[in-house]
Structure 1
Amino acid sequence: MCQEVGHAVQLALSRRGLLKAGAGASLAALSLMLGGAPVSALAAPPSTGDGAADFDTRLILLGTAGGPAWFPGSSRHGIASALQVGDLTYMVDCGDGAARQLATALLSSSPKANPFQLLEPLRALFFTHLHSDHVVDYNNLLLQGWTAGVGRRLPLEVLGPGPRGELPPVFQVPGQPRAEPEVVFPDAPTPGTVQMTDGIFRAFATDLNDRVRDYLWPDLRTLVSVKDIALPTIPGFRSPNQTPAPDMEPFMVWSDANVRVTATLVEHAPVFPSFAFRFDSEQGSVVFSGDTGPCQNLVRLARNADVLVHEVIDAAWVDALFPPPQDEATQALKHHLLSAHTSIEDAGRIAEQAGAKTLVLSHVIPHNVTDDRLRLASRHYSGRLVPGQDLAHIGVGRRRGAGA
């Protein structure tokens, strides 16, 4: 899971990973762990002049980095994507820097747009799950977006996981038993999207009251409509700790005149619920995997999709964190890391099984994975492969004026 990436780096740095290697190898491993690739090794931000503007439906990768960490020298911002359908925009996740990236993307589409109306086209925001690297810029989107027209045309609809319902178990490794830690906010230890949003409004009540009373702004709470996604009855589901991603059919979560959004549960234990989303419009279909290990629920959701945006972790990077010899504890943590995410080559396998026409790799772990390594997904995938980069624009469906 996402927080385990940071934990793994700390563990590797404090244990034999660097101490037992030679000085040169240690520096190389440290560079790899901390994303310290030279800037020249990082792909330049993609041009938006690739013809995507000629499509009525466009996918924009706002941020393509995975994990709650900063990697100096990386060109990647926190995970977030936007789908533009006609004149409306739909957003998936809101990682570090996502609000500014969205404003940048919308301004590039409409250079003469009024900055106080820039976010008026933002129709809905969907959270795949509530790990910090997927939601940390949410308060920024709301509070800074308040000045940029968020919710002014139509209320911004926000949908995401509801409360987990029970705490996850304490992760145990052989030979290193851990005691039960103190519960954070025991009265509400696993809040959902509605409670998270209420917490933001409470935390910034001084700002909200000042601006409503002194500036006569509309109450921000009236510009946002927030809902926890209700799960359908799922045969075989027992509890979040036993079956966090039971075999299931995709289910409807939201729709408007432009898009129909369906979802499914995916493998990101111990997170629950952890969703993947599919957006279907007249122009085509785009699927967002969220954070997940290889998962047949996702294959089912992404069947024959025009675009599958899939997360990836570089398994070689994980191997570098934990050089041999490995004890049982290290092996367990390594397995834990990889089972909650999808390797580059497995992402290709998933896209091939689903029959997705285009595979876009995002939520990249670590941040400095090169495009050449991401292209390894093509070993098991016969469609179009796009190594994701921040602010890349990808057309979906037919160009304007093209025949059926």
Structure 2
Amino acid sequence: MVTVHRPGEARAAARHRTRVTLLGTAGGPPWWDGSDRAGISTVVSVGDEHYLVDCGEGWGRRFRAAGLGPAGFQRGLDGLRGVFVTHHHSDHLVDYPNLLLLAWHNGADGLRRPIQVFGPGDRGTLPPVFAPERRERPPEVFHPESPTPGLVESTGRLLEAYALDINDRMRDNAKPDLREIFEIRDIPLPEGTGDDPNGDPAPEMSPFEVYRDENVRVTAILVDHRPVFPAFAFRFDTAGGSVVLSGDTGVCDNLVTIARGADLLVHECIDLDWVEQLIGPGSETPDPNLMQHMLAAHTSVEEVGPQAEKAGVGTLVLTHLVPANAPAGKWRRAQAGFSGTLVVGEDLMTLGLD
């Protein structure tokens, strides 16, 4: 059973040992007029321990506002156990540096154990050039020495960029080495998958284990967010129930596979009518390059319900909403083709599992 607690009902939500808090529900890099949704980020909690999925813009303040960590000066992240990154698009990682660099000052100084961080590894090859006008003269490769880094490498580069601050805090404030606070890991793909990221980015496969502790087992599967690769959906199985987070994906059999029988599916969603009006062939500003990405790499409001129905999930929660300023009625159309409970996500909404 899934119970929905609206923003402001954190105390009631805390009675559920397993719960999901939507920190940010806006999709895409734009700053949306007429919306106060933060960037995409979600927390799965088991008791007082928390597992963060993606670090969209504003996740830290939302984490604090949700009351997920203890109150008090330089507290908050004390119960953060693990972090899981679905893919390397900037709107899912833009506030990842905040996690690394502000953790000292928000509860991670003196943790019982390091925070485990998991994310995609090196893509291995550049994506193809889609735009016809650029195929003959492709854009210059940015940082050709390592153009497709995984999470371990990109984290190292981020920390190097802030070397002055890090050295200052360790010498002047006696802060511990950040490498004692975080353990960063690239997620290794099962043998035989990921050989052709420019062909099939989500070949048929079984979910595979990424992490396990006394609270939760986390499994992952590749989803189709072409040309980004790897892109993952994650499943959290706890004693209280099962939760799947789709990450960014188009309609994808692997998503159905990992979500099969889950209590709760938190799934991205876009309004294709809005996309057509904005950048479609008949619009004032047609953009065929962005249009093909939206069609192939995301799931529309008409498609998400049937996906959830195939998986046999009990409750479908929509997040990563594009556009983030659309009225709730637009998203309720996702009920078509889905016999379970539909919830249109809001920032700081909590879903309790019993």
Q: Does 1:78 align with 2:39?
A: yes
How far has the Cα of 1:336 moved from its partner?
A: 2.9
1:342 aligns with 2:299: yes
**When you count helix as a share of all residues, which structure comes out higher?**
1
Structure 2 residue aligned with 1:402? none
Change (3 A) 1:58 1:325: closer
1:255-404 aligned at under 5 Å gives the runs 255-322=212-279, 325=282, 333-396=290-353, 398=354
Count of aligned positions: 347
Alignment partners' CA distance in 1, 2:289 and 2:33: 29
The corresponding residue for 2:99 is 141
Aligned residues of 2:33 and 2:325 also touching (Cα < 8 A): no
The answer on 1:210 being equivalent to 2:168 is: yes
In structure 2, the gaps of 5 or more residues are: 1-5
CA distance in structure 2 between the aligned counterparts of 1:169 and 1:217, rounded to whole angstroms: 44
8 A Cα contact 2:10 2:67, kept in partner: no
The Cα shift of 1:144 comes to 1.5
Q: 3-state SS of the aligned residue for 1:157?
A: strand
CA contact (8 A) 1:142 1:150 kept: no
Distance 2:151 2:289 in 1: 31
RMSD: 2.0
Q: Aligned partner of 1:319: which letter?
A: E
The verdict on how the C-alpha distance between 1:140 and 1:332 changes in structure 2, with shifts beyond 3 A counting, is closer
State the distance in 1 between where 2:203 and 2:173 align: 50
Q: Which amino acid is the alignment partner of residue 202 of structure 1?
A: E
Where does residue 180 of structure 2 map in the other structure? 222
Alpha-carbon separation, structure 1, partners of 2:264 and 2:323: 23
Q: Would you say the 8 A contact 2:23–2:43 is kept in 1?
A: yes
Structure 1 residue 215, shift from structure 2 partner: 0.7
Whole-angstrom CA distance in 2 between matches of 1:214 and 1:79: 35
Query: What is the DSSP-based 3-state SS (H/G/I as helix, E as strand, rest coil) of the residue aligned with 1:292?
Result: coil
Quote the Cα distance in structure 2 between the aligned partners of 1:97 and 1:326: 32
Contact residue 160 and residue 193 of structure 1 kept, 8 A: yes
For residues 10 and 183 of structure 2, what CA distance do their matches in structure 1 show?
A: 35
Aligned to 1:245: 202
Identity of aligned residues (%): 51
In structure 2, give the amino acid aligned to 1:383: G
AA in 2 matched with 1:288? L
Instruction: Give the Å deviation of 1:196.
Output: 1.3
Structure 2 residue identity aligned to 1:135:
L
Query: Residues 48 and 391 of structure 1 are in contact (CA less than 8 Å); yes or no, is this contact kept in structure 2?
Result: no
* Residue 95 of structure 1 pairs with residue 23 of structure 2: no
Larger-Rg structure? 1
Select the residue among 157, 180, 204 that pairs with 1:199.
157
Kept in 1: contact 2:54–2:93 (CA 8 A): yes
Structure 1, 175-184 or 200-209: larger mean CA deviation: 175-184
TM-score (ref. length: structure 1): 0.82
Preserved CA contact (<8 Å) 1:234 1:246: no
SS at match of 2:154: helix
Matches within 5 A, 1:86-235: 86-106=47-67, 110=70, 113-150=71-108, 152-173=111-132, 177=135, 179-234=137-192
User: What is the CA deviation profile of residues 28-66 of structure 1, one whole-angstrom value per residue up to 9, with x for unaligned ones?
Assistant: xxxxxxxxxxxxxxxxx8332584222111100000011
> What do the CA deviations read for 1:90-144 (whole angstroms, capped 9, x no partner)?
000001111121122235x75xx33323101000000000100000001111212
- Taking a change above 3 Å as real, the CA distance of residues 178 and 81 of structure 1, as seen in their structure-2 partners, is farther
Q: Distance between the aligned counterparts of 1:332 and 1:390, measured in 2?
A: 30
Q: State the Cα deviation string for residues 163-192 of structure 1 (Å, max 9, x = none).
A: 00000011134x775521111100010011
| Contact kept in structure 1, 2:280 and 2:291, CA below 8 Å | no
Aligned to 1:34: none
In 2, distance between residues paired with 1:123 and 1:258?
Answer: 10
Q: Which runs of 5+ in 1 are unaligned?
A: 1-44, 399-404
For the 8 Å contact 1:51–1:395, the answer to whether it is kept is no
For residue 243 of structure 1, report the CA deviation from its aligned partner. Answer: 1.5
Contact 2:10 2:66 in 1 (8 A): no
| Contact 2:280–2:287 under 8 Å retained in 1 | no
Once residues 335 and 198 of structure 1 are traced to their aligned partners in structure 2, the CA distance between those partners, rounded to angstroms, is 33
